[in-house]
Chain A
C-alpha cells in the first residue's frame, strides 16, 4: 500500500502545453511538498503546503501552481511548459507542524520531458 503516490510516472509533452501531476498521501500527514530534481541532481523545494499555509520558493516561476483539493492531495499544475522544465518532480509529505519527526516521505517521482 503506497504511502505517497504520484501520477504519471513519466510525462512527455510539447513546449507550450499545460500539464498536471497528481499526488496523494495516505499517511494522514498535514504537510505536503513538491521538489524538483534538476539536471545536477539537486533536490530543490518548490512548495510546502498544509491546510493553512502555502510557502513558495521564490525561484519557482508562477507558471507552476500547487492545487490542494483536500489534505491528502497536492497536485502540481504547470502552464506554458518550457524545455527547462524537464526534470524529475517529487511529491512528499510529513507530519504536522510542531511534531518532532521531520522526515518526509517521498513519492516515486514523475519524469517530465518537454520536447
Chain B
C-alpha cells in the first residue's frame, strides 16, 4: 500500500515553460512534505519542503503547493531549464516518527531545449 503516489512516471516540458509535478498521499498523519531531485548515478538531493500548516512555499524558480483537503501537493518549476531534467521524488514524514520519510516512485522530468 503506497501512501505517497506519483502517478506520472514521466513529464516532458519545453524550456522556459512551467513544469508541474504532482503527488498524492493517503495518510492524514503526514505533517511535512519534501521534494527531492535525483540525477542518474547520484543520490537524491533535497530541493524544497513544506509544512502541513502551510499551503505554499517558494524558493526561487521552485514553488510547492499543498492542498490538505485533497491530500495533494505539487511542485512548480518556472521557468524550466534543461538542467532541471532529473527524477523528482515526493516524500512525506509522519508526525512523531523518527524522521524517516515515505517516498513516491518519482517522476522523470525532461526539459527540452
The finding on whether chains A and B are genuine partners in a shared complex, rather than unrelated, reads yes
A→B interface (CB under 8 Å): 4, 31, 33, 35, 40-45, 48, 50, 53, 55, 90, 92, 94, 97, 102-109
Residues of chain B touching chain A, judged by Cβ–Cβ distance below 8 Å, are: 2, 32, 34, 36, 41-46, 49, 87, 89, 91, 93, 98-106
B57, chain A: closest CB distance, angstroms: 13
Summed over the interface, the residue pairs from A and B with CB atoms below 8 Å come to a total of 59
State whether A4 and B98 are in contact (beta carbons under 8 Å apart), knowing that A41-B105, A41-B106, A102-B34 are contacts in the complex. no
Asked if A31 meets B42 with Cβ closer than 8 Å, knowing A42-B104, A103-B34, A103-B49, the reply is: no
Question: For the complex, what is the distance from the CA of A9 to the CA of B96, rounded to whole Å?
Answer: 33
Task: From the candidates A40, A55, A108, name the one contacting B43 in the complex (CB within 8 A).
Answer: A108
The smallest beta-carbon distance between A103 and chain B, in angstroms, is: 4
Q: Are A97 and B2 neighbours in the complex by a CB distance under 8 Å? A: no
